[in-house]
Structure 1
Amino acid sequence: MSRTPSTDPSRQPAPAPLPRSLDPLEDELLSGYVLRLAHRLGVPPDHVIRRTGLADILDNTQAMAKAFRSTILPPAMAAEFATATRLTRAEVTALTLAGWAPHYPPIAYVLDMLRLGKRAPRLDGLFATTARYCPPCLAGDGSPAQARHGGSWQRAWRLPVFYACLRHQRFLEHLCPSCQRPFIGRSSHLVALPTIGGLHPAQCRQRRPGFNHTPRTRDNVCEGRLDRVPTQATDRPSPELIAFQEKILWMLAPQRSAVTSSQYFTELQLVAALVIITWPQVRPDTPTAATEAADRYIAENHGPDEKHYSNALPTDARASAAFLHAADSILTAEDLRTAILPLAPVENRTRTGIVPTRHQSWDHAFKRQRPSCSWRFLAVAETLVPTHRRTGPGGRRIPMSQVGYRAEHIPAFLPQEWADRHLSAFTGISSLILRRNAATHLVRRARGGSLHEAARFLGIKAGEHGIGFGTKLGRWTRAQDNLHAFELALDAIAADLEASPRIDYLHRRQCLADWTLTPAIWNHMIAQLQQWPGNRAITDDRKRLAVSAYIWARITQGEYFFSPCPPDIAADPEAFRLWKYHRRFTCTWLRQTDDHPHYRELKVLLDDHADQLATEIDG
C-alpha cells in the first residue's frame, strides 16, 4: 500500500461543502470539532479530514492529518476547511491555538518553525495533541446537538498549564477510566485511528489492552466513555488552585500585555522544572490530592534507578497543579532570590540524590529562553546554577545580561563600608580575600571571562598575596554548606554599586600607571609637618615614592600591594626591592595614624592631595 503526501491545497479546486456541518462550540479545538462533525455525518474522521483539505498523508484507504494542524492552519488549508464546513475564516482560526501565540511562547515558537517550513518541534510547554479532558465538558450542556455529539474538546487542554476546569470546578483527567491508559493514542495525529468510525467523540480511541497492533476495526479499540467519569471529592481543586487557574486564563486574555504574559509563562515553565527536579524541597506541609499525585509522579518517574529524566510537566493534571502552584508561589515572592534558593543545586549530590546533569540540563533550557525572561528573573537565574556560559565549545565565558553597571565602575578593593554591610557575616575567612573576590566576581559578571582575567582588569596581579580565586573562597563556601550566600551578598553589593555615582576607576588606573608624587609637591608637604625624632619621620625621596603608592591606592580604590612601580627605578632590582619594603612600611603606618603624630599629620595632607588629583582626573 503506497502512501503519498497530499498535493498543495492551493493548487486544488475548492472542495464541495459537506452535506451537513456543525457550529463550533466555545473554545473548541480543531481535533474535537472533526470528531463531532464526523459523528454527525456518520462517517470515520478520515472522511472529514479528506473532504475538508486537512490531510497531510493520503493513500487508498485513509487520510491522516498531523497533530500540529490544531496549532495553526495555513491560509489555503484554512480556506478549504472553511468552504467545506460552511464556517467563516475567523471561526476556523478560533479552532486553533494561533490566537494565544503572542501571550504563550511555546505556541509562538511552533508557529515560527512552521512558517519557516520546518517540522513542528516537541516542546515541554505544549502537548503535541490534547492530553487532558474534563468529563462533564465532554458530556455537553444538555442541548440537542451536544446530547447527540458530545461537548467541546477545549483548546486549553493542549496546554500543560491548564489542570482544572473552571466551569465544573474539577481537575482534568488524562487516563481512560476503562483501560487506565492515556486516551490519545498516537500523539502525532490530529485524530487517533481516523479510519475507525462509529465511535462517539467522547470514547477512548486507544487500542484495547493486550492488542499490540494498530487497530483496524472497533473490536480492538478500548471504546471507554470519557464523559461518564463520576466526580469524586478528591477531584475538586482547592480554592487556591482554582484562583491560580483563573490567573493563568487571565494571562492569556487579549487585553493582557503580551510581553508580560510571555515572560510569565516562560519563567513559570522554568521554575516548575526546578520544582520537579528538587521535589519535595518546596512541597507544602499540608497534603492534598495534588501534592500526593506529585509525590507519586516523582516516585514513579524520578527514582534513583531512572536513566532518563524529564523536567516537563506531566500529563497528570493533579501533579502538574502542585508543581505549577509551587512555581507561581516562588515567582510572586517579594524576594525572588531567597524564594528560589531551595531549588538551587547542592554540590554534594549524596545529600539530595539529584544527578548534577539535571540542573545542567535546566540551565541549558534557561540559556535558550533568556530573551523571553524579565530582568527580575534574569538577575536571579543567571547565577542559580554555577555552570559556565560560554560563546561556544571551549569559548570565552559570556557576561551576565542586564547588569546595571560596567566593569570600569568597580573599585579594585571593595570599600570597607560595603564589606561591613554585606560581608560581615562571613567568618572564618580573611576579609582581604572576601573584598578582592567580591570585586573580581562583579567584574566577571559584567565582562565575562575568567576570574583571573577579571583580576588583571582590576590591576590585581594574580598569583600574588593569596588572592584565593576558586581555592580559598571555594573551600570556605563548601565548608559553610551554603554555596549561594556569597552570590546573595554580591547581589546586594551590585545594588549598592548601581545606586552609587559612577566613577571610572579604569581611567584612574590608566592615568596613574607611571605617576609619582613630584618632588616639588612632596617638599611643599613636608614643609608643613612638624619635625619629629626617629626613623619613622624620615622625609627623603624613598618616602616620596612610598607615599605615591598610598595616593595611588586611595584614588583607584585599590590596594597599595598592586601599585605600579615608579618607572625610574623599575630597571634596578635593588631599588625595586627597597621601594617595596618602604612602601609596605609607610602604608602600614599611614593606616595606623593614632600610633604616631608624624603619620597622622602626613595622612591629612596626602588625602587632600589625592582627592584633588582624583577630581582633576575625573574632570
Structure 2
Amino acid sequence: MTSESRTLPIRLAPLPGESLDSWMEALAHRSMVDFREILIGLGLHDRHLGLIPDHTLFLLPEEAERAAAASGVPVDQLHAMTLRQYDQHAVVLHAERRSVIRMQLWGRSGSRYCPECLRERDGRWLLRWRLPWVFACTRHGRLLAHDCPGCGHRPRHGRISVFRDTFPDQCSTALKRSGPFCRTNLSQAPTVLIPEDSPVLAAQQWIDSLLSKIEQGEVSGLKLRNIFEDLRALASWFLRRTEPGDFQAYGEYIEELCQSHQNDGQFSPNPAAVAAGSLTRAIEILRHPTLDRSVAVIRDLLGRDAESLDIMTPGAVHKKWRKHSTELQQTVWRAMDTKLSTIERLRYRSCTPQPRPPQRSDKITATRARRIPQLLWRSWTVRLLPEAGRRIISLRPALSVALLLPGWSLRRFDPLIRMLHDQEHPDVYYALSKLTRNNGEALTVLCFIADYLDDDQCPIDYARRRTTISTDLLPTKTWVDICADTNTPPGAEVRELVMRRYLYQRLTGNHHRQAPGALQVTTPAEEALLAAVPFTLTASLLEALDEYAVGYLRAKGIEEEPPVWEPPAHLGMRLPLSQEADDVQVQQAHRLICEGIRPALAATQLGVPLDYLRFIFESQPPRSRAAAAGREGSSSHTRLAAARSRRRSQKELTEEFLRREYLTRRKSIEQIGAETRLPSSIIRERLQRTGFLTLRHPGRNPIDEAWLREQYLHHARSLADIAGELGMSSTHVGRRALAMGIELRPRGGHHAVSPALLEKVPLFLRPALTDQRCWGRLLRFREAMQHRTIAEAAHCLGARQAVLSAQITRLERDLGTALYVRARPGGSLRPTQVGCEVLEALAAIEVPRK
C-alpha cells in the first residue's frame, strides 16, 4: 500500500443512510473505473494483497483517515456508513475476523433490498438492508427482496471481486470463479405488496425507530441489545414450533413461507417474508408483554414444548433467559404459572404481572418477617379465605408464613416458621391448598402485600413488640378507670383478664398460645371468650384502649408507631370481600349483636363470614351497645358503679380533704361516705393509702377504751358499725369490748318477720326465715317453679343461673329437705311434696316484698 495518499479527481457525496460499498460502487461508476481502482484510491487496498475485507462492516481508524483524506468525506460520516454503529446493539462484529458473528443477534451477511428504492436512488444501497431486522420498506409498503431473480444468490454476499465493473443496481455475483457477473437488474425484481394496515409495516416502523436511535447516538439508558436478543429468541421460537395458521393474519404469502421454512430458527432466515412473520409476532409480544393475550401466546408455545417443559423449572427459565430482558422473562414465568406448584408461584411471583426470581439473600425476607404478625391480620384472612369458617384461627398463622414465601430462596418452610413462631408449627401446605381452591386471585394478593411490606410502608415492628410487650399490660386500676370513663361494665376478674389478652393480641399480633405468663390462652373455653371480645367493644372503649396502648408503647421506648395497622384494602381489589362494609351493613351488624343475637347466627343473616363480622366490630364498633339496640343505656352494673365511684374518689378524696374531715373533725368513715356518697370501702382504702387510718388508730388493731365506751354506750352505735369504721370484724370488736368490761347489749334489731306475720307462717317454714333476704328467696323459688328449667327461670327473672340455684339450695339447707326434682332432658321442673307445701303456704300468706 502506498505511503502517500492522493485525493480522488472526482468526488461524490454519500446519500443519507447509504452503505460504504454502495457509495464506493457509485464513485467507481461515476469515475468510469473498476471497483479496484477506487479501493486503491481511497487507501483501502494494497496492490500486492489478494484478499479484500468487507469494509462495510467497519473501518480501522487509519483506514478511515486515509479514505477521508482522499475523498473529502469526514471520518465520522465514513464510520456511519458501516455496521460499526450497530455493533453490540443490533449486530455483533468479530474484530479480528472482520465479520458478522452469526450465532449472536441473528447475524447475517449479504443484503436485502427494495427494487423501487434502487430505481429512485440510482442504484444506491441502504446500510440498513444488511441488518437481519429490516424486512420491509415502509416507504413503498413492500417486503424486501432477498435474492437475485436471475442467479438466485443473495446480493453482496461472499467474496468481494475488485474487478467488477457492474452498475450499482446490477447483481455483482460472479456466476463462476473468475467468470462473468450476473448483471441482473435488481431494480426490476418482483416484491410482495403489504397492506397499509398490516401489522408487518407497524412492526418494521417500530424496529426502524430503534435503529434511528442507534444512528443518532441516543442509546444512553436503553438496553437495545436486550430488545434485539428478545426479538431473536421469540422469532426463532415461533419458527421452531410453528403450526398452521400462526402467521395467517399477515397474509397468505408470509404464512406459506413461514410454514415451509426448514431452519430451526438459530440463524437468521434469508427470506424477508419469514423474517417478517416471525419478527412481527415477536414484536407484538415485546411491545405488550403484560397483556393476557401475550401471556397466552407464550403459554401456547410452552405447550408445544411440552416435553421440555415437564423438566423445566422456573430457575431453569431464569438461567436460559438470563441474557434477555426482564419483561420477557416475566412473560415466560406468567405463562408457566398454571404449570407451577403453589410454592413456586409464590417464590417467583408468577401469579403477578411482574414475576421475578427469588433474591439470593434472605435479608429482605427477614426484614419482612419483622413487619408481619404471627396471626395474619383478621381482615386479610377473611378476604383471602372467606369460607374458612371455624378453622380460620388455625389458618391465620399459616397465612403469615405464606406471606414470607414471595422471593424466598428455598423451598422449605421451616426457616420461615422459625422467623415468626417459637412453638406453633402451622400447616402451610393446607392453607395454600385452601387459597388456590377457594380463590384464584389470593396468591396474587399475597404477593402484592409482600411487595407493599418490602417497600417499607409498614409502620409497625412486630418482632420488637413480640419481645417488649409483657404481662404488665393493662393493670386492674387502668382497666377500671377506662371502664368508668367509657361507661363500660368492668365485669369480673375473668373479663379483665380476657380484655388484657385481647389487647396483647391486638398490639402484637401474636398467637394466643404463645403469649407470656397469664396472657397465654390454654383451653378452648378461654379461646371462646377471647373470640367473643370484638362483639363487646364500643367506639369509646376501643378508642380508650388504643390511647392507653400509645402511652404504654412509648413507655417501652416504641414511639411513632400506631397501636394497630393493616395493609390497605386496595391491594385486594381482585378479591370478593375487597370492599369495606357499607354503613347499612355495619348498622345491621350492630343491631343484631346488641339485641342479643348469637354472632354466628347474625353472620348467617348478613351473609358474611363470622370473622368478617368480628372485623366490622373492630374497625367500626357501635357508639354504645344500648344505642345500637335501640334502647336507653343502663348503669346498674355493680362493678361499673364501683369503677365510677373509684374514679370520682380520686378527684374528691384528696389528702387535704381526708386530713380535715377524718383527722381534724374526727368524722367517721360512714359519715364521710354519707356526705360524699362514696362507698366506705373506697374511703377506707384512700385512708390507708395516705396513712391517716394508722395515725388515728395507731398500733395493731388499736381501739381506744374511752372512745369505744362513748361510741357504744352513749351514742348507741352497733358493733358492726364500729367495726366497719375500724376496719375490723364485729366479733373482734365485741371481744375487745368484753375485755374492757363493757357490757354488750342483747342482739336484736330488725326482725326478718314481724310477730304478727310470724303467727301466719307454718312451723315447717319458719327455719327458712333467717334474715332479711329470706322472703326474696322464697319468692324466687315460687317463680322458678313456673318454668321448665332453672336456666329459663333465671333468664326471665333477670338473674344469673348460678345465683338462682344457690338461693334455692339455701332454702333446702334451711328446711333440711329437697324442694324440687331436677328436670330431665325433655322434662320440666317439678316440686317435691315439701315444695308443694311451701308453695301453698306462700299463697296463703301475704308475703312482704323487700
Q: Which bin holds the TM-score, normalised by the shorter protein? A: 0.5 to 0.7
Q: Of 85, 92, 99, which residue of structure 1 is paired with 2:78?
A: 92
Q: Distance in 1 between matches of 2:112 and 2:225?
A: 19
Residue 226 of structure 1 corresponds to: 186
CA 1:593/1:340 → structure 2, altered by over 3 Å: closer, same or farther?
A: farther
Task: Tell me if structure 2 keeps the 8 A contact 1:410–1:443.
Answer: no
Code of the residue aligned with 1:262 in structure 2: it is L
By how many angstroms is 1:95 displaced?
1.1
For 2:157, what is the secondary structure of its paired residue? Answer: coil
Correspondence list, 1:40-119, <5 A:
45=35, 48-49=38-39, 52-54=42-44, 60=48, 62-66=50-54, 69-70=55-56, 72-97=58-83, 105-106=89-90, 110=92
User: What's the CA shift string for 1:393-429, capped at 9, x where partnerless?
Assistant: xxx95369xx9x97468535654555666787999x9
TM-score, structure 2 as length reference: 0.49
Work out whether 1:455 is the aligned partner of 2:416. Answer: yes
Q: Distance in 2 between matches of 1:32 and 1:612?
A: 83
By how many angstroms is 1:539 displaced?
6.2
Q: Of 235, 238, 249, which residue of structure 1 is paired with 2:208?
A: 249
Residue 6 of structure 1 corresponds to: none
Q: Distance in 1 between matches of 2:531 and 2:139?
A: 73
User: What's the CA shift string for 1:289-336, capped at 9, x where partnerless?
Assistant: 45762574366447xxxxx653x7644333433444444444555x82
Correspondence list, 1:164-313, <5 A:
164-180=136-152, 182-186=154-158, 192-195=159-162, 197-204=164-171, 216-218=177-179, 224-233=184-193, 238-253=197-212, 258=218, 262-263=222-223, 266-267=226-227, 270=230, 273-274=233-234, 277=237, 287-289=248-250, 293=254, 296-297=257-258, 300-301=261-262, 310=266
Name which of structure 1's ranges 171-180 and 196-205 shifts more when overlaid on structure 2.
196-205
Task: Tell me if structure 1 keeps the 8 A contact 2:404–2:416.
Answer: yes
CA 1:28/1:13 → structure 2, altered by over 3 Å: closer, same or farther?
A: same
Q: Of 274, 288, 295, which residue of structure 2 is paired with 1:341?
A: 295
Residue 305 of structure 1 corresponds to: none
User: What's the CA shift string for 1:222-273, capped at 9, x where partnerless?
Assistant: 665433212444x556455434534443455469993699357744752673
CA 1:291/1:323 → structure 2, altered by over 3 Å: closer, same or farther?
A: farther
For 1:512, what is the secondary structure of its paired residue? Answer: helix
CA 1:237/1:437 → structure 2, altered by over 3 Å: closer, same or farther?
A: farther
User: What's the CA shift string for 1:155-175, capped at 9, x where partnerless?
Assistant: 222334332212322111223
Residue 211 of structure 1 corresponds to: none
CA 1:85/1:251 → structure 2, altered by over 3 Å: closer, same or farther?
A: same
CA 1:229/1:54 → structure 2, altered by over 3 Å: closer, same or farther?
A: same
Q: Of 504, 525, 533, which residue of structure 2 is paired with 1:593?
A: 533
Residue 27 of structure 1 corresponds to: 17
Aligned residues: 527
For 2:13, what is the secondary structure of its paired residue? Answer: coil
Task: Tell me if structure 2 keeps the 8 A contact 1:278–1:354.
Answer: no
Work out whether 1:137 is the aligned partner of 2:117. Answer: yes
Task: Tell me if structure 1 keeps the 8 A contact 2:358–2:407.
Answer: no
Considering only CA atoms, is the larger Rg found in Structure 1 or Structure 2? 2
Residue 157 of structure 1 corresponds to: 129
Work out whether 1:537 is the aligned partner of 2:521. Answer: no
Identity of aligned residues (%): 17
CA 1:121/1:358 → structure 2, altered by over 3 Å: closer, same or farther?
A: farther
Q: Distance in 2 between matches of 1:281 and 1:61?
A: 47
Task: Tell me if structure 1 keeps the 8 A contact 2:235–2:282.
Answer: yes
Name which of structure 1's ranges 235-244 and 128-137 shifts more when overlaid on structure 2.
235-244
Code of the residue aligned with 2:53 in structure 1: it is A
Q: Distance in 2 between matches of 1:245 and 1:345?
A: 25
Residue 323 of structure 2 corresponds to: 368
Correspondence list, 1:349-498, <5 A:
349=303, 363-364=318-319, 367-370=322-325, 397-398=358-359, 407=368, 411-412=372-373, 415=377, 417=379, 432=396, 435-436=399-400, 439-442=403-406, 444=408, 452=413, 455=416, 459=420, 464-468=425-429, 473=432, 488-489=444-445, 492-493=448-449
Code of the residue aligned with 2:70 in structure 1: it is A
Code of the residue aligned with 1:227 in structure 2: it is S
Task: Tell me if structure 1 keeps the 8 A contact 2:18–2:124.
Answer: yes
Task: Tell me if structure 2 keeps the 8 A contact 1:203–1:225.
Answer: yes
Code of the residue aligned with 1:177 in structure 2: it is P
CA 1:295/1:509 → structure 2, altered by over 3 Å: closer, same or farther?
A: farther
Q: Distance in 1 between matches of 2:302 and 2:433?
A: 14
Q: Distance in 2 between matches of 1:503 and 1:338?
A: 31
RMSD: 5.7
For 1:26, what is the secondary structure of its paired residue? Answer: coil
CA 1:274/1:76 → structure 2, altered by over 3 Å: closer, same or farther?
A: same
User: What's the CA shift string for 1:524-544, capped at 9, x where partnerless?
Assistant: 4378585768xx93767xx79
Work out whether 1:318 is the aligned partner of 2:273. Answer: yes
By how many angstroms is 1:342 displaced?
1.7
Code of the residue aligned with 1:249 in structure 2: it is D
User: What's the CA shift string for 1:159-214, capped at 9, x where partnerless?
Assistant: 3433221232211122333454544534xxxxx33356244444556676xxxxxx
By how many angstroms is 1:516 displaced?
1.6
Code of the residue aligned with 1:518 in structure 2: it is D
Task: Tell me if structure 2 keeps the 8 A contact 1:164–1:237.
Answer: no
Task: Tell me if structure 2 keeps the 8 A contact 1:268–1:324.
Answer: no
Correspondence list, 1:575-614, <5 A:
582=522, 586=526, 589-593=529-533
Gaps of 5+ in 1: 1-8, 187-191, 209-214, 303-307, 390-395, 570-577
Q: Distance in 1 between matches of 2:284 and 2:4?
A: 52
Task: Tell me if structure 1 keeps the 8 A contact 2:28–2:35.
Answer: yes
For 2:522, what is the secondary structure of its paired residue? Answer: helix
Code of the residue aligned with 1:516 in structure 2: it is S
Q: Of 462, 471, 483, which residue of structure 2 is paired with 1:517?
A: 471
By how many angstroms is 1:154 displaced?
1.0
CA 1:418/1:384 → structure 2, altered by over 3 Å: closer, same or farther?
A: farther
Task: Tell me if structure 1 keeps the 8 A contact 2:106–2:232.
Answer: no
Q: Distance in 2 between matches of 1:239 and 1:91?
A: 35
CA 1:613/1:287 → structure 2, altered by over 3 Å: closer, same or farther?
A: farther
For 2:467, what is the secondary structure of its paired residue? Answer: coil
| Higher relative contact order, structure no. (Cα contacts within 8 Å, ≥ 6 residues apart) | 1
Gaps of 5+ in 2: 338-343, 349-356, 561-850
By how many angstroms is 1:467 displaced?
1.6
For 1:465, what is the secondary structure of its paired residue? Answer: coil
TM-score, structure 1 as length reference: 0.63
User: What's the CA shift string for 1:497-520, capped at 9, x where partnerless?
Assistant: 689x82255x43035336423167
Task: Tell me if structure 1 keeps the 8 A contact 2:398–2:427.
Answer: no
For 2:116, what is the secondary structure of its paired residue? Answer: helix
